[in-house]
């Protein structure tokens, strides 16, 4: 059973998809192109640990798009190289006059338990996932503000939202992207730049070792693409974390409990320890619309109790 109020189309839109030479990024690029977008297919063409590089993977996706009647160009910039990313954005603007959509999808894995992980592997994963997305977003930000339109999709992960053994570096970078999205969605709102996060569960080269073979079909990358299309569309939400996998879609939220006012007394640490279950009680929790909302909640409770005193 399916129904649709209006079709999502990207005619006249220009999209950049990073890490689009294979897996999820390839499916993103193909889907955007199939619905009318002109697409910059970016891929460094390295191994999944980030080593090596070749533009041939990106070019193969461009060839697929063109064979289907679409428009696309290949780009081999590393997202960690800001100058190369700026040149990629210039290439898109020179070809098509604008950039409407950025899907920050590029990433690598260097999995190991924290005890065994080298700091270089921690830094590299943060550099590619977090700073790579920062570089690409920074490179389109002024342009999107000027044209008063932009749709940016950050790729977060359940490993960042909820943790996963052996992925402290990846998880830290992925949750950092949520923090980036929270602020950019506020700053971009006045010029219709909507920033969201996608948390995919998909069997790709990045995750093929994590799934038993019988699950690979259900978790194929194509099942995640509808969530990306919604987040990149003209009617996209703003500041949403959409989770997607195997045909199921959920939303994740960073919430704030009602909490308890305990005052500032000598025994407040002991009071907090004794009433911690009350403080962490989730009934009535909220999703604050900005960081200041947490402070407002604390001030309101403090003032209410001061009046009682």
pLDDT tens digits along 202-250? 875 656 666 677 777 888 899 999 999 999 999 999 999 999 999 999 9
Identify whether 147 is part of a domain. Answer: yes
pTM (two decimals): 0.93
Q: What is the mean pLDDT of residues 118-129?
A: 98
Identify whether 156 is part of a domain. Answer: yes
Catalytic status, residue 170: yes
- Shared domain check, 237 and 102: yes
- Shared domain check, 205 and 65: yes
Identify whether 48 is part of a domain. Answer: yes
Q: Report the 3 state secondary structure along 23-89.
A: HHHHHHHHHHHHCCCEEEEECCCCCCCCCCCCCHHHHHHHHHHHHCCCCEEEECCCCCCHHHHHHHH
Identify whether 79 is part of a domain. Answer: yes
Q: How many CB atoms lie within 10 A of CB 91?
A: 15
- Shared domain check, 162 and 111: yes
Q: What angle is formed at CA 200 by the lines to CA 194 and CA 201, rounded to 5 degrees? A: 170
Contacts of 32 (CB under 8 A, 6+ apart): 10, 13, 15, 17, 39, 101, 103, 229, 232
- Shared domain check, 292 and 192: no
- Shared domain check, 173 and 293: no
Identify whether 257 is part of a domain. Answer: no
Across-strand partners of 249?
244
Task: Return the closest-CA partner of residue 102 out of 58, 64, 132.
Answer: 132
Domain hosting 150: range is: 14-252
- Shared domain check, 30 and 165: yes
Span 89-102, pLDDT tens digits: 999 999 999 999 99
- Shared domain check, 278 and 192: no
Span 133-178, pLDDT tens digits: 999 999 999 999 999 999 999 999 999 999 999 999 999 999 999 9
The total of structural domains in the chain comes to 2
- Shared domain check, 297 and 156: no
- CA 186 to chain centroid: 16
Q: Among residues 207, 227, 252, which one ends one of the domains?
A: 252
Identify whether 135 is part of a domain. Answer: yes
**Catalytic residue from among 96, 149, 170, 219:** 170
Strands 248-252, 241-245: pairing kind:
antiparallel
Indicate the Cα dihedral angle 243, 47, 107, 193, nearest 10°.
Answer: -100
- Shared domain check, 61 and 181: yes
pLDDT band of residue 1 (cuts 50, 70, 90) is very low
- Shared domain check, 214 and 76: yes
Instruction: List the CATH number of the domain containing 19.
Output: 3.40.50.720
pLDDT, averaged across the chain: 93
Check whether 187 has a pLDDT greater than 50: yes
- Shared domain check, 300 and 235: no
Q: What is the mean pLDDT of residues 253-257?
A: 97
**The pLDDT value given to residue 4:** 54
Identify whether 3 is part of a domain. Answer: no
Identify whether 261 is part of a domain. Answer: no
Contacts of 206 (CB under 8 A, 6+ apart): 23, 48, 107, 108, 109
- Shared domain check, 171 and 137: yes
Specify whether the CB–CB gap between 143 and 89 falls below 8 A. Answer: yes
pLDDT band of residue 49 (cuts 50, 70, 90) is low
């Amino acid at each position: 059973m399916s129904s649709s109020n209006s079709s999502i189309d990207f005619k006249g839109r220009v999209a950049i998809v990073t890490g689009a030479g294979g897996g999820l990024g390839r499916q993103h690029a193909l889907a955007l192109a199939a619905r009318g977008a002109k697409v910059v297919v970016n891929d460094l063409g390295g191994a999944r640990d980030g080593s090596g590089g070749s533009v041939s993977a990106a070019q193969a996706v461009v060839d697929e798009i063109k064979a289907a009647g679409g428009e696309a160009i290949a780009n081999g910039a590393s997202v960690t190289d800001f100058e190369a990313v700026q040149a990629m954005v210039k290439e898109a603007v020179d070809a098509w006059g604008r950039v409407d959509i950025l899907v920050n999808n590029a990433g690598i894995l260097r999995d190991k338990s924290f005890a065994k992980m080298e700091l270089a592997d921690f830094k590299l994963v943060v550099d590619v996932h977090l700073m790579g997305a920062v570089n690409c977003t920074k490179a389109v930000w002024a342009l999107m503000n000027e044209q008063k339109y932009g749709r940016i999709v950050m790729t977060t992960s359940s490993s960042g939202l909820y943790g996963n053994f052996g992925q402290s570096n990846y998880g830290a970078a992925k949750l950092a992207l949520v923090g980036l999205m929270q602020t950019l969605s506020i700053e971009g709102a006045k010029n219709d730049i909507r920033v969201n996060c996608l948390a995919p569960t998909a069997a790709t080269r990045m995750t093929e070792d994590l799934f038993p073979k019988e699950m690979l079909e259900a978790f194929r990358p194509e099942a995640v693409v509808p969530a990306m299309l919604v987040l990149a569309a003209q009617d996209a939400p703003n500041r949403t974390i959409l989770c997607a996998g195997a045909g199921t879609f959920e939303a994740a939220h960073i919430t704030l409990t009602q909490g308890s006012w305990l005052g500032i007394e000598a025994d407040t640490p002991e009071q907090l320890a004794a009433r911690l279950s009350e403080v962490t009680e989730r009934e009535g929790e909220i999703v604050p619309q900005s960081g200041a909302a947490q402070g407002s909640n604390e001030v309101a409770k403090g003032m209410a109790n001061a009046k009682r005193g």
